[in-house]
Amino acid sequence: MELRAKATAASDPFEFGILVPRWAMMRALLVMASITVLATVPAAAQQFDGRDPVCLQIWEWGGSTTISCQYRSWDACKVAAASLSAMCLLNPYGQSPPERSRRSPHR
């Protein structure tokens, strides 16, 4: 009489009938690695020029936005924003005009 060890569920990977080819596993691993690498790359920062005081923020398809700070006046920005999904805003890095003195002039 010959005794054979019975395979347990933990030692038999094919017991549940799931057979995945090696190339499919490698492809899945490559896709997951690519997503991980691309998700960790920092996005390109937008740079604002401080010479122009008004910016135009345009919303694009998919939820992304583009900010262009190249307008000298609100009116020029409004003309560019016409018929777009956009708005004008102050340049956060723009040079503000000097504040007016709050004192009354001496008489």
Does the pLDDT of residue 45 top 70, yes or no?
A: no
Identify the CA nearest to 57 among candidates 96, 91, 23, 33: 91
pTM of the model: 0.46
pLDDT number for residue 20: 75
CA distance 33 to 24: 14
CA distance 107 to 104: 9
Query: Which residues, including other chains, have CB under 8 Å from residue 106's CB and lie 6 or more apart?
Result: none
